[in-house]
Structure 1
Amino acid sequence: MPQYAILVQPSANRVYTQQAARLVGNELLALDRLLLDGRVAARGGPAERTMGGVPYLVLDADLTADDLRVVANLSSLFALFELRDDGALLPVDTDRLDRYDDDLLTILKYVGKTNEQLTRLLLNLTAAAALPRDGFLGSRVRVLDPMCGRGTTLNQAVMYGWDAYGVDVDRRDVEAYTAFAGRWLQDKRLKHRTSTGRVRVAGTTLGRRTTFTLAATKEEFRAGDVQTLEITQGDTLDADRMYRAGFFDVVVADAPYGIQHGSVTGPRTPSRSPRDLLADAIPVWVGLLRRGGALGLSWNTKVLPRQDLVAMLVDAGLDPLEDAPFLGLAHRVDQAIERDVVVARRPG
């Protein structure tokens, strides 16, 4: 039986690094359940091991080539090795979904930015809940971040070759991200088109939208094999008027954490807790999911307990995934923020 060792990627965030091995271990078990037919858990699951003073995750599993392609996309996987009986580590080529240079994910720096590894974890689990393995590895997935801020989730979706759509009410964030995306596409000399205009429904202006149509190569662009990156400055509660019902495979959001990232539930009315915002928004987002699609959220449990958020998801008609791997993703961000992740499916 082959034995593999995952070298855990260090994070720029020291607090996240301390928890990364546990988080990626649970991420792997969740992906194992959803996409790998339980082959990892059947052999006891991953175990943390320190070799040469460096943390690894070690697992026994008979994995296919496509299984290894799934494992290659783990959020904190830095390198993958086959662990030999004599302790030698043999590098394993990793066929990741990544289509672009990784500076797409790392260039933007700003206060309140979600950790890129957490963003990848959340997107991985939500997409795996919505898609079969072949779809996860090879389909053009439509992703919506209905509170996209400056586009961390959008960038990760684009990196995977998926179509990324974002909505955010903050004009400055939208303008900053739109400027970044246009500049990055130009700097990378990627073929693309850009269009900008108002979103109007029944005579009412709901927001302003910029759409980038892009491809990784000139040949793909000429052939029409293109991706969409779209961001709309507007109210997330109007998202169901901006897009048709069932348009998205995946909806992913990093909810406001509290006073530092206060939500707005009415005309310029700040709220310490995202509770009211999520109670209003979740039914809107669910209506945008296709049947069998999935919703993933990260949020601060210090201002909204997990059981309360899960109850909102159930009331909106979703089936939360509440077994062991999905219950092992809570982690400390700072003194005021204990972040957790929840994933829920829309029944097919």
Structure 2
Amino acid sequence: MRYALLLAPSANRVYTRSAAGLASSELKAFGTKVEETIVLGGLSYLVFEGEPESLPRLANLSSVCAIFELHGNDMLRPIGEPPLAHFDDDLLTIQKYAGKTNEHFTKLLLNVTALASSWDFLQRKFVVLDPVAGRGTTLNQALMYGWDAIGIEIDGKHVEAYAAFMKTYLQRKRIKHTADTTPVRRDGRRLGRRFDASIAGSQQVTLFDADTVEARKLMKAHCVDLIVADLPYNVVHKIGSPTQLLRAALPGWVELLRPGGALGMSWNTHLAPREQAITLLEEAGLRVSEGFDGFEHWVDQGITRDIVVARK
């Protein structure tokens, strides 16, 4: 079958300009190639071939507004395949703050990381770790998929803001849950705090207020399936640049990753070229996945963002 993908609009106009190219690269990661772009009724559509069995996965594309069967060159039949959505979409959109990553990009990064793992996208309840979690956009996207989420964030104010948001959100939606913040100690030393929420007895989200370099001390080895890290673009960690942070933190992150799991990260290429990022991942014992490229795009003055994905 031939299908036509209508891209979802984004409030971020800069991201919208890159959306078609990013969607083409994401479709490639899903095993599908864009054949052409057509315009019908003043709207642009990405045309691709695929099997009907692939539609449940493709419904979760990060920038999809709708997918249609394309008959001839101008007749569209809507496909009613729903995406994974265990919560209302305001779980992702209600939070507004300076520096928040576009929700479409967060979903894109999570998608391609899951696709690079050894497991089927729709057949596993993944455990996702965001080791630089900020205020939890990646954690919330994992929850949307019905997965479990773990985050590490060094800024205690971000952790407090996320804990307050999740408690309020779950209460207002009248979702059964328990939530608490407790200290984290190892060998008599305080490493930080942790916020835990058990949601409807079926999902778990944890956010550590701690240094990501200490990740291995916070959790057991081989406890996560995916690591998704949107690295700070112009922010210097207390131990140095993002490159220095990766050198210090990657060994611990990789120990937490199950064999067959995948790590996906985005970063500012002005701070480190793609080749350097790949070298750091390979030195940590990961194998960079082929076919997960074409994601480099301009974000702002001094920031060009790219994605690299690797499997353990």
Match of 2:87 in 1: 100
For 1:86 and 1:173, how far apart are their aligned partners in 2? Answer: 49
Q: Aligned-pair distance for 1:86?
A: 5.6
1:61 has 2:50 as partner: yes
8 Å contact from structure 1 (residues 191, 214) kept in 2: yes
For 1:116 and 1:158, how far apart are their aligned partners in 2? Answer: 13
1:90 has 2:74 as partner: no
1:302 has 2:270 as partner: yes
SS at match of 1:264: coil
Q: Aligned runs of 1:1-348 on 2, under 5 Å? A: 2-32=1-31, 40-41=32-33, 45-64=34-53, 67-85=54-72, 87-133=74-120, 136-215=121-200, 221=201, 226-258=202-234, 261-265=235-239, 271=240, 273-323=241-291, 326-346=292-312
Q: Aligned-pair distance for 1:51?
A: 2.1
For 1:297 and 1:62, how far apart are their aligned partners in 2? Answer: 30
Q: Considering only aligned residues, what root-mean-square deviation do their CA atoms show, in Å? A: 1.2
Q: Deviations over 1:172-203 (max 9, x none)?
A: 11111111011111111101011321111111
SS at match of 2:238: strand
Q: Aligned-pair distance for 1:131?
A: 3.8
SS at match of 2:305: strand
| Deviation >3 Å, runs of 4+ | none
For 1:46 and 1:203, how far apart are their aligned partners in 2? Answer: 60
Counterpart residue type for residue 211 of structure 2: D
Q: Deviations over 1:149-176 (max 9, x none)?
A: 0001001000000000111010111111
Unaligned runs of 5+ in 2: none
Q: Which has the higher helix share?
A: 1
For 1:46 and 1:235, how far apart are their aligned partners in 2? Answer: 45
Q: Aligned-pair distance for 1:53?
A: 2.1
Aligned residues: 312
For 2:133 and 2:146, how far apart are their aligned partners in 1? Answer: 18
Match of 1:36 in 2: none
SS at match of 1:167: strand
For 2:78 and 2:50, how far apart are their aligned partners in 1? Answer: 16
8 Å contact from structure 2 (residues 40, 74) kept in 1: no
For 2:7 and 2:73, how far apart are their aligned partners in 1? Answer: 21
For 2:85 and 2:4, how far apart are their aligned partners in 1? Answer: 21
8 Å contact from structure 1 (residues 245, 289) kept in 2: yes
For 1:131 and 1:74, how far apart are their aligned partners in 2? Answer: 19
For 1:50 and 1:274, how far apart are their aligned partners in 2? Answer: 42
8 Å contact from structure 2 (residues 132, 152) kept in 1: yes
For 1:101 and 1:158, how far apart are their aligned partners in 2? Answer: 11
Return the TM-score normalized by structure 1. Answer: 0.87
For 1:235 and 1:49, how far apart are their aligned partners in 2? Answer: 48
8 Å contact from structure 1 (residues 302, 336) kept in 2: yes
Return the TM-score normalized by structure 2. Answer: 0.97
8 Å contact from structure 1 (residues 21, 56) kept in 2: no
Distance 1:84 1:186, change over 3 A: same
**Share of identical aligned residues, percent?**
49
For 1:304 and 1:148, how far apart are their aligned partners in 2? Answer: 21
Counterpart residue type for residue 143 of structure 1: V
Counterpart residue type for residue 287 of structure 1: E
